[in-house]
């Protein structure tokens, strides 16, 4: 996870290839989290190039 703003519940992540991808409050709210810290490893779900779900790497991703 690159950055997270707790006020807007939006942020961005770095993919394994170094690409930065933003996520909005809807993607954050879809998961079980209350807050994120910069540098945390996260799992994401993408649809059409947009992040739709964010959670910690230790939590399961919905199937």
pLDDT of residue 62: 86
pLDDT surpasses 90 at 63: no
Rg of the chain, C-alpha, whole Å: 10
- Is pTM beyond 0.75 here? yes
Contacts of residues 45-51 at CB distance under 8 Å and 24 or more positions apart, as own/partner, are 46/21, 49/21, 50/23, 51/13, 51/21, 51/22, 51/23, 51/24, 51/27
Q: Express each pLDDT in 8-42 by its tens digit.
A: 999 999 999 999 999 999 999 999 999 999 999 99
pLDDT of residue 25: 97
End-to-end CA distance of the chain: 22
């Amino acid at each position: 996870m690159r950055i997270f703003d707790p006020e807007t519940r939006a942020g961005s992540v770095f993919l394994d290839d170094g690409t930065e991808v933003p996520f909005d409050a809807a993607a954050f709210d879809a998961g079980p989290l209350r807050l994120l810290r910069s540098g945390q490893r996260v799992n994401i779900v993408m649809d059409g190039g947009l992040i739709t779900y964010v959670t910690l790497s230790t939590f399961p991703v919905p199937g």
